[in-house]
Amino acid sequence: MTTTTGKSIQSTVVEGSVLSKDGTPIGFFRVGSGPTLVFVHGSISDHRDWKKVARILSPHYTCILMDRRGRGSSRNITSEYSIRNEYEDIAAILESVPGGPFLWSGLLAGSRGAFDRAAAGAV
């Protein structure tokens, strides 16, 4: 049970994974309900960078905290690293979430992948 701004809330965290285009499983954690926010962490971390933010926002938003390939719950890499694979990983996460539009945020290299993907018109 978490208390935020005087209201008592209880959120269920769902752990899942999707397959990226090259077959690599990409892990994520989902919590909350409402419009969807997708969070992409930086190079030397994992989804936990966003846990406090998700805890605050989850009463109003569905928060998707992905683990980038090679980190956290996305450790089983099936191909060599490339920025294209990062784009495909983000696309796989977005394609797994019903509805839209999506809002997203990224830290460091996570933001680069997220925003480059958006600029390419892939989302």
* Domains with residue ranges and CATH for the chain: 9-119 (3.40.50.1820)
**What pLDDT score was predicted for residue 118?**
53
Q: Please give the radius of gyration of the chain, using alpha carbons only, rounded to the nearest integer.
A: 14
What pLDDT, in 10s, does the model give residues 15-63? 999 999 989 999 999 999 888 888 888 878 888 888 999 999 999 999 9
Q: Residues 92-98: contacts with CB within 8 Å, 24+ apart?
A: 92/18, 92/19, 92/20, 92/21, 92/26, 93/18, 93/26, 93/28, 93/38, 93/64, 93/66, 94/38, 94/123, 95/18, 96/16, 96/18, 97/36, 97/38, 97/62, 97/64
Q: Give the Cα separation of 114 and 108 in Å (integer).
A: 10
Residue type (1 letter), 41: H
Beta bridge partners of 29: 15, 65
Band (2; pLDDT cuts 50, 70, 90): very low
**What pLDDT score was predicted for residue 55?**
93
**What pLDDT score was predicted for residue 94?**
84
**What pLDDT score was predicted for residue 120?**
58
Q: What is the pTM of this model?
A: 0.75
What pLDDT, in 10s, does the model give residues 52-83? 999 999 999 999 999 988 888 887 777 777 87
Whether residue 117 is predicted with pLDDT greater than 70 in this model: the reply is no
